Structure 1
């Protein structure tokens, strides 16, 4: 395996987050790193500034805002032939000490790991529940429907595994905000499903890796900080709606048979109603804040 490691990040006017992302990479590994910025149409100049400041950065212009998974797939196709492992991470991640090296060491312990993810901290220092079960009808459905009204409900707690002590273990899926991916596994499942513009592409990837016989492994000895929402915060109502569309796509794919049509209709109706409520609430809150 070559010492060089490729890190793919999708940029969409990332602002100062990108510089912190690149500056802290030296904390994460001693390996030579090449960063591929798959740019989805930034207008703030941040990717161009990074290109000038950091000699190990490459810029891949996708030509439009193609969504997260599609941009990652383009970067992998363009740059990653012949690699064994690569990183996919949001540009608002800040790297903890040896975080990438610890993920790579774990990949050696888990030869069937298709994806490995670190412990992710929110800006306030709390641990984000980034390692989760796959959403079942009951567990995932109750989390989706009652979670916004009753955050401490037992279904959400089980789904998010938030009451489980951090330990290195195989899980259903890992947050796509920071992943070490095995190139062979990623290729076997044809990468991210490009129907997902944003949200749920990481859940879908984890599920498809598992179905193909690979594992998704949580590695809490590796830590990163995730600022979260640098792009989604611009239009929260739009992105809440997109989340519900992606959730329906994911669920409908898992129950595709003709006799499961009533179940798909129920998913669509419940998610549509919930989307209308949260989008209206978001727009009202934003209007009050102006």
Structure 2
């Protein structure tokens, strides 16, 4: 890992450190960084930490050529990794570097490389946390590049929520609306279970208390599990849609929530799903949620067949769910016995 510059600004104590973890999206990451640097932040000292997660192209070189010069001294810190650590582990590398500095920031703002500020979201979120001491984190409202709002606040996953999401049938979705995991895109400001990791500000001290992200996760569900732990110790998570960020969803992962075509989910999605439920619901709760997910997917497949439509379940879902969720669960039981 290389550090191009100090984590602290020349003007004094950094109040907000922005962390951007990049993998193969260097041009979008450059836009994202510039959207932060272009804001005045109401006089707050803000610096940016960009970690390139061993991108397969020349991302690291391009980021270094753009932000490695003296003009960005104290404003942008670059980290170039030789291994793809995933999202949570990548953020943890920067969090550990911040902990080693002379002083730590008050807030940490996680921003996806395929996201950019549409207003001074950092000032809005920091101001909100200033005035709400019980809030450990605040998530921004997220829109598509064209301006259409998308869901950025959620309920914690549950068996009923998994069943409704997998079935994807109107009557079931309406009957189980109180368990529906995604909340409406036009949700007003308020406390929620968790917010999208694409644009969320945390109190640094709370992240330190939680020891950052759980490194069992490579990608997906790591922010959900982190915010679940934050709730468990009595802190609140808020959704603050006045802070606006646009997001080119899935630029790095090629997975988009609104996709109408069937894609194959990567192995790490299933593994992260299993990790999340085991850590938050235990083995029995994980099996219940898995059964609900499989049942909902079977209903979706059956109804799609009757309607002569393409199912909404991912391609090879039954095979991959069995291999990467159910089989390891059975192995855990055998090891315990």
Q: TM class by shorter-chain length?
A: 0.7 to 0.9
Q: How does 1:187-198 map to 2 (within 5 A)?
A: 187-198=208-219
Which residue pairs with 1:101 in the alignment? Answer: 123
Segments of structure 2 that go 5 or more residues without pairing to the other structure are 1-11, 257-261, 302-311, 318-337
2:63 and 2:119 map into 1 onto residues whose CA distance is 22
Pick aligned residue for 2:59 from 43, 46, 63: 46
- 1:62–1:267 CA distance, 2 compared to 1 (3 A): farther
Q: How far apart are residue 239 of structure 1 and its match? A: 4.0
> Is contact 1:21–1:94 with CA below 8 Å preserved after alignment?
yes
Which residue pairs with 1:64 in the alignment? Answer: 83
1:183 paired to 2:194: no
State the Cα deviation string for residues 33-58 of structure 1 (Å, max 9, x = none): 32211221013323332333231322
Which residue pairs with 1:114 in the alignment? Answer: 136
SS at match of 2:130: helix
Paired positions, count: 277
**Structure exhibiting the larger radius of gyration computed from Cα positions:** 2
2:31 and 2:193 map into 1 onto residues whose CA distance is 30
1:69 and 1:244 map into 2 onto residues whose CA distance is 16
2:59 and 2:117 map into 1 onto residues whose CA distance is 19
- 1:260–1:203 CA distance, 2 compared to 1 (3 A): closer
Pick aligned residue for 1:153 from 155, 173, 189: 173
Segments of structure 1 that go 5 or more residues without pairing to the other structure are 282-290
1:151 and 1:21 map into 2 onto residues whose CA distance is 40
- 1:75–1:222 CA distance, 2 compared to 1 (3 A): same
State the Cα deviation string for residues 134-172 of structure 1 (Å, max 9, x = none): 12221x22243213x659923468432217x43221110
1:128 and 1:251 map into 2 onto residues whose CA distance is 25
> Is contact 1:115–1:216 with CA below 8 Å preserved after alignment?
yes
Which residue pairs with 2:39 in the alignment? Answer: 27
- 1:4–1:264 CA distance, 2 compared to 1 (3 A): closer
1:245 and 1:270 map into 2 onto residues whose CA distance is 19
- 1:195–1:166 CA distance, 2 compared to 1 (3 A): same
- The more displaced of 32-41 and 91-100 is 32-41
SS at match of 1:58: strand
- 1:48–1:34 CA distance, 2 compared to 1 (3 A): farther
Which residue pairs with 1:246 in the alignment? Answer: 272
> Is contact 2:166–2:293 with CA below 8 Å preserved after alignment?
no
1:143 and 1:240 map into 2 onto residues whose CA distance is 22
- 1:41–1:214 CA distance, 2 compared to 1 (3 A): same
Structure 1 runs of 4+ with >6 Å offset = 271-274
- The more displaced of 237-246 and 149-158 is 149-158
Which residue pairs with 2:28 in the alignment? Answer: 17
What TM-score comes out, normalization by structure 2 length? 0.72
2:171 and 2:273 map into 1 onto residues whose CA distance is 18
Q: How far apart are residue 260 of structure 1 and its match? A: 5.4
Give the superposed CA RMSD.
3.1
State the Cα deviation string for residues 214-244 of structure 1 (Å, max 9, x = none): 1111111110001111111189956444323
- The more displaced of 238-247 and 203-212 is 238-247
- 1:211–1:28 CA distance, 2 compared to 1 (3 A): farther
2:172 and 2:59 map into 1 onto residues whose CA distance is 39
- 1:40–1:3 CA distance, 2 compared to 1 (3 A): closer
State the Cα deviation string for residues 253-285 of structure 1 (Å, max 9, x = none): 23326x6575366368669989x951349xxxx
Pick aligned residue for 2:227 from 199, 206, 211: 206
